[in-house]
Structure 1
Amino acid sequence: MSPRSGSGWQLVAILIAFLVMLPVLALVSFAAQGSPGLWSHLFRNVLASALGQTIILLSGVGVIVASIGTVTAWLIAGFDFPGRRILGWALLLPLAVPTYIIAYAYLDILHPIGPVQTLLRDLLGYDSPRDFRLPDIRSMTGCILLLGFVLYPYVYLPVRALFATQAANLLEASRTLGAGPLRVFWKIVLPLARPAIAAGIALALMETLNDIGAAEFLGVRTLTVSVYSTWLNRTDLPGASQIALVMLVIVVSLVLIERRARKGQRYAGTARRHLPLARVRLRGPAAWVATILCALPVLIGFVAPASYLVQHAWRRYVFSGIPTGLWSEALQTALLALIATFIAVVLGLLIAAATRLQPGPVTRFSVRVATLGYAVPGTILAIGLLPVIIFADRQLTGLLGMWGAAAPQLILLGSGAALIYAYVARFLAIAVGGIEAGMTRVPQSMDHAARSLGQSPAGVFRHIHMPLSRASMIGAGLLIFVDCVKELPATLLLRPLNVETLATRLYGEAARGTYEDASIAALLIVLIGMVPVFLLSNRI
């Protein structure tokens, strides 16, 4: 095979796809090793309840994120009202708050002796929580509401982008024919936005399925929580693997439903230049209703929990300073995230280059498989990685023993390599998507000119694609870094012994009920999470 033929890029894409899907393949193999009566026991005592609660949670969150995301996107894109400019980017702020931090904050805010219920009792003249108290937030309803108010930006962002880019001709025609705002919304806007809504709901539901902290804190036993407890509390890895396979079936079903929702749907355009959507200026009560509808998700999803974290972090700092070990945990968090980000960006660059330099059905299929990791919850990746990492550790230990060197038993698990592997496999899709988008701006004529001057495909990649994709690489790297910092399920399951990150510290403190001790760590995570929010707001 000639090195100038470029066929090696296809092998690179296949290899990366295999490494991403290796944990899933191992998961299937390991789950088959369970005892014959294990599955019936799990179905009777674990799966029946966990599957039912998971379906209810996904259904409720799906309805809320679709409603909030679509309505706010339409109001911001189609109308002018007080505060619209600020609320347009502020509606993205809940993306900066991980779901487990929202649960951790609201458990304290809405506690029977917390600030909200105490204020209500004072206003209503009650003296004790026994006389008046709100419904317990530790419930399915509470979990659905909190996750919905955090994850709605997954729908808001693509739907608003669709409204901003699609031609306004249909909307203007419907208005001139006398259709009111509500009729335009139901007959024109919703059908236009359906593919974007479906895509956003699918992403939000995948994040819901990946959640472990919020569901556990709020008393909802989902499949993810069941995997975690089955593995750690019962030391039943085959059982955990089998539950993880059920989760994987749900994830694949969500992906197929989302693609089927977009099947055959295209946006027709004309040669005429698209007109921008003319915003209707709202006045009087309608204007303030629009402001309240857009401000409420920001208040619940970001302002209230962020204000709580700032207040308690300051109190904790004044009372006893920075918690012991926090800076060490922040450094470990940053180090693990940086290593995973670097590897993911490099692999994403190679996959994007393979798509550019050697397009074809094999390459396209490999790229699709390599980017499926983002749809696989961190818990599934962690469970699937275990047999792979254990096997590799045994081989490395035996190899070192043959050479007469000291042979530690947990080389990969103990060094954090397994956790970095999980980060890369889960977030590689972000790198591929961002870098591919950057490469599409490089004209093909530049590739042809370089090849005509004697450059090999590798030379084109090194001298043209890499320099011109630097901005997209940096943007993708920032998003991956933030996601690695926030990732909780995979970190809980694969972190080395005696290693804490900001996310696991927060989880541990919240599990013990000492919320105030984790407030500074939670605030640091939120501040880091605001980086991609500002990047997205600048693009808007």
Structure 2
Amino acid sequence: MKRTSWTVSSWVLALLLTLPIMALIYEALLPTEDVFRHLWGSVLPTYISNTFRLVVGVMLFSFLAGVPAAWLMAMCELPSKRYLQWALILPLAMPSYIVAFVYTDLLDFSGPVQSTLRHWFGWQSASDYYFPAIRTLGGAALVLGLVLFPYVYLLARTAFMEQSLSLVQSSRLLGCSPWQSFKRISLPLARPAIVVGLSLVAMETLAEFGTVNFFAVNTLTTAVYDTWLGYGSLNAAAKISAIMLLVVMLLLSLERMSRKRQQVFQKSLGQEQHSGYVLTGLTKWCALVFCWSLVLLGFLLPFVILCYHAIRYFDKAWNSRFFEYSLNSLLLSSVVAGLALMVALVLAMSHRLTGKTYTQIPKRLASMGYALPGAVLAIGVLVPLTSLDFAINDAALWLGLAEPGLVFTGTMAAIAFGYLVRFGAMAIGSVESSLGKVSPSLDMVSQTMGYRPSAIMMKVHVPLIRKGILAGVLLVFIECMKELPAALLLRPFNFQTLATYVYQFVSDEQLELGALPAIVIVLVGLIPLIFLNRSLEQTH
């Protein structure tokens, strides 16, 4: 394959992966239907208000939980710190809707917590005492904060560890307490990284569907879902999705601005060995209780309850449906991971062959889908594929042939394409990073030996970047296993993944029957966290 062919292929793939975004914008710009006018004049302002309040609440909790935990792990010496610094990452592996059900089951009126309180104090009904309701917007913010605060923790901890030790030592010499040093030096220097983490939290909250739907908190994500499945209006769903797309673009712009500022403020000498503050007495115990409480509430307690239900209801959960849906998830995730690898290799190789700046554009275009919430992406996929299905059936009817039906939207093709658009960026980034470390001289030597570009890629590049390839494929595979909103909207009839299977039990308040597949999802989600923690330990 000549260099021109590689370039053309990269542009074709990039345009294909950006097709849902372009289709979404096109559909949103079409004349407004009555459904959207009705929603805008009735419930949509409430949905926007709920979304804003939820995002702010989750960001606030994530800041109050993630930043202190990051500073304690980076700047202080504590017992069990070796285990705490990676245990604080674990909540990321726990799907939020599972955590939501666990705490609803624990804290509802009929749950063990309130039942125990009534037994202890002799209360007879809810009117005899006050207990905060969990199925509220505040409860949803708390649950999402427990799951998402590690984004802020990870980035803030890295920023604190990379700060110049001389500044911290100078503050000590000037008589600053640990709190004063944190407020005056560490926090301002880490502010750009914290803003990036909060931006990620905001985007994940904006994309959340399972928890808010279970708690009956109406947000823009649930509006997209209900508008398409309830009203059947693709136009109205596209317009609501376009509103969310604007919010995501605003958050991404804020994140990029913070990253530029971080290049100015970040000041690390790299080789410094940090001797942390040694906490003692009450301060030490308060720090330990704070950090371990986050681990307990965000991961350990839900995971233990899942294990209890999985063991107790093992005979009912271990059935043919569990194996069928596990196979569906395995097959779908494997196909998407393989396709994502092929796309990543073509895009990376195209830039490698030419070395021109403009060949970076296809990679950036193909990576845009990762920023889209799952529900928004699903609408973007449905717009062109639905039109394509109608066109195929109309053509068959015109030719006098039998109508083939829903060739794309009625098969696994739609959900696979949606996953590829959203998670392909992971494989692209991983392959690009690894390929950038391979010396260009190897390409020159291979060309002098008569190897064509495809042979150079397979015989030289792929063996050298196999670790990066494995990391990218694993990340795509795992994210596909966990994805819920896009799966709910794009899956064909009678097709379930493990995520939708678990959510079905959660919606019916029967998580005990879905505990076994939920554990599978959690354990799969732990894999990238283990890789991430090892990379952080090797870096620092």
Gaps of 5+ in 2: none
Tell me how far 1:363 sits from its aligned partner. Answer: 2.2
Alignment of 1:33-432 (within 5 A): 33-35=30-32, 37-132=34-129, 134-267=131-264, 274-317=271-314, 320=316, 322-323=318-319, 325-397=321-393, 407-432=403-428
- Flag the 1:354–1:170 CA change in 2: closer, same or farther, 3 A: farther
Q: Which moved more, 1:264-273 or 1:504-513?
A: 264-273
Distance 2:130 2:9 in 1: 60
Distance 1:34 1:271 in 2: 54
Distance 2:267 2:190 in 1: 19
- Flag the 1:263–1:537 CA change in 2: closer, same or farther, 3 A: closer
Distance 2:201 2:414 in 1: 26
**Contact 2:427 2:473 (8 Å CA) reproduced:** yes
Q: Which one-letter code corresponds to 1:333 in the other structure?
A: S
- Flag the 1:29–1:169 CA change in 2: closer, same or farther, 3 A: same
- Tell me the percent identity: 37
Q: Which moved more, 1:260-269 or 1:146-155?
A: 260-269
Specify the SS of the correspondent of 2:423: helix
Tell me how far 1:529 sits from its aligned partner. Answer: 1.4
Specify the SS of the correspondent of 1:152: helix
Specify the SS of the correspondent of 1:408: coil
Q: Which one-letter code corresponds to 1:103 in the other structure?
A: A
- Which residue in the other structure is 1:501 paired with? 497
Distance 1:323 1:109 in 2: 27
Aligned length: 536
Distance 1:310 1:26 in 2: 43
Distance 1:280 1:452 in 2: 58
- Flag the 1:69–1:451 CA change in 2: closer, same or farther, 3 A: farther
Tell me how far 1:253 sits from its aligned partner. Answer: 0.8
Q: Does 2:494 correspond to 1:527?
A: no
- Which residue in the other structure is 1:461 paired with? 457
Q: Which moved more, 1:446-455 or 1:195-204?
A: 446-455
Match of 2:8 among 2, 8, 11: 11
Q: Could you give the per-residue CA deviations for residues 467-518 of structure 1, whole angstroms, max 9, x where no partner exists? A: 1111111112112111111111110001010111111122222222333222
Q: Which one-letter code corresponds to 1:432 in the other structure?
A: I
Q: Which one-letter code corresponds to 1:289 in the other structure?
A: C
Tell me how far 1:175 sits from its aligned partner. Answer: 2.1
**Contact 1:393 1:410 (8 Å CA) reproduced:** yes
**Contact 2:484 2:499 (8 Å CA) reproduced:** yes
Distance 2:321 2:269 in 1: 62
Distance 2:459 2:320 in 1: 48
**Contact 1:10 1:362 (8 Å CA) reproduced:** no
Q: Which moved more, 1:454-463 or 1:432-441?
A: 454-463
Gaps of 5+ in 1: none
Q: Which moved more, 1:423-432 or 1:22-31?
A: 22-31
Distance 1:33 1:534 in 2: 46
**Contact 1:168 1:274 (8 Å CA) reproduced:** no
Q: Could you give the per-residue CA deviations for residues 246-305 of structure 1, whole angstroms, max 9, x where no partner exists? A: 111111111011112233441578997631322222111111111112111111110111
**Contact 2:502 2:517 (8 Å CA) reproduced:** yes
Distance 1:360 1:175 in 2: 50
What TM-score do the two structures reach when normalised by structure 1?
0.93
Match of 1:27 among 13, 16, 24: 24
Distance 2:174 2:452 in 1: 59
Distance 2:105 2:312 in 1: 15
**Contact 2:97 2:506 (8 Å CA) reproduced:** no
- Flag the 1:179–1:454 CA change in 2: closer, same or farther, 3 A: farther
Distance 2:270 2:31 in 1: 61
Q: Which one-letter code corresponds to 1:305 in the other structure?
A: P
RMSD: 2.4
**Contact 2:75 2:161 (8 Å CA) reproduced:** no
Q: Which one-letter code corresponds to 2:114 in the other structure?
A: Q
Specify the SS of the correspondent of 2:409: helix
Tell me how far 1:93 sits from its aligned partner. Answer: 0.6
Tell me how far 1:51 sits from its aligned partner. Answer: 0.7
Distance 2:240 2:83 in 1: 44
Tell me how far 1:412 sits from its aligned partner. Answer: 1.8
Specify the SS of the correspondent of 1:82: coil
Q: Which moved more, 1:211-220 or 1:524-533?
A: 524-533
- Flag the 1:358–1:74 CA change in 2: closer, same or farther, 3 A: farther
Tell me how far 1:386 sits from its aligned partner. Answer: 1.2
**Contact 1:210 1:379 (8 Å CA) reproduced:** yes
Q: Which one-letter code corresponds to 2:446 in the other structure?
A: A
